A = this chain, B = another copy of it.
Amino acid sequence: VTSQPPFKRIALIGLGLIGSSLARGIQQLGLAEVLVATDASAEVRARAVEIKLADVVADDNASAVADADLVIACVPVGVSGVVAESIGPHLKPGAIVSDVGSVKASVLSAMAAHLPDNVHFIPAHPVAGTENSGPDSGFAELFINRWCILTPPDGADAAAVEQLTAFWAALGANVEIMNAGHHDLVLAVTSHLPHLIAYTIVGTADELEDVTRSEVLKFSAGGFRDFTRIAASDPTMWRDVFLANRDAVLEMLGAFQEDLSKLTRAMRRGDGEALFEHFTRTRAIRRGIVSIGQDEAAADFGRKHAALTKKAE
């Protein structure tokens, strides 16, 4: 049984990790009759043609969105306003316009200002990613069993929200509806603060006087290397996230600093009981994440190990 694709024409603006993953998923599942894509970089557009990321690779945003029923801006949040400005006058009446940005309140206001009243603007954030970026880093399975948060503004069209929900569900995501401000607070703790901390500690380790960089790299399996994956994330995307969600990140940072002081004080005082109690509590939280399928149970993230063999004698 074949059925009509849910959208006649989908336009993707930006072909980084998220955009190119969407492109692959849309093509693999046949979610659009025609998939159009574009990117600000001529090099990326050329690469998109080469690896067939879309049916049509457009030269600019205006032509990309013409006649599209669903337009998704997959760009760093700092340029979402500029992108909205470039597409506003060219959108098809009734089109759904969305994004994938990690911050929602600032994106919502930056984009809404440039969009006509006759389109449905529904911001979205798929909570998924890897440390890699660019058109070659995407893969169709990225969104499976991950959450995609929609933050429709007050009075958003229910049918449009439903269509976008079905789109993300088809890609394997679980969809949650939230208001933009609450989204930014939740993500400040589950994503932005962890990135800030990881970026900090990796930088710290690299600048010490008493410990060489070579020592840091060699002995990183003691824990440090887990932080480097996050601290290898796309610098442009993350610069924009911290500038756009500053207040929520600072609020979470305040809570973190209080807790760090508490643990430091316990360490100074030799209060082993307080440390033990804290470490036992945090262990339970990982079990919770594994039990709801948001991480693997395999030890050490399932990193592979070579086989142990006797040396030749």
Contact = CB atoms under 8 A, between A and B. Distances in A.
Interface of A: 1, 3, 25, 28-30, 78, 102, 127-132, 137, 139-142, 144-147, 149, 170-172, 176, 182, 185-187, 189-208, 210-211, 213, 215-233, 235-236, 238-240, 242-243, 246, 249-250, 252-253, 255-256, 259-260, 263-264, 267-268, 270, 272, 275-276, 278-283, 285-289, 292, 294-296, 299-308, 310-311, 313
6 closest Cβ contacts across the A-B interface?
Answer: A191-B222, A235-B279, A130-B299, A232-B286, A141-B305, A194-B223
A233 to B, nearest CB: 8
Decide if the interface of chain A is mainly helix, strand, loop or mixed: helix
Report how many copies the assembly holds: 2
A215 to B, nearest CB: 5
Contacts of A102: 222
Contact of A287 (B28, B232, B246): B232
A222 B313 CA distance: 49
B278 A203 contact: yes
Contacts of A213: 285, 288
Contacts of A29: 308, 310
Contacts of A187: 219, 222
A246 B259 contact: no
B28 A139 contact: no
A137 to B, nearest CB: 7
A236 B280 CA distance: 9
A206 B272 contact: no
Nearest to A248: B210
Given A226-B229, A246-B267, A203 B130 contact: no
B238 A279 contact: yes
A226 B225 CA distance: 11
7 contacts: A172-B306, A194-B223, A197-B197, A205-B285, A213-B285, A228-B289, A242-B267
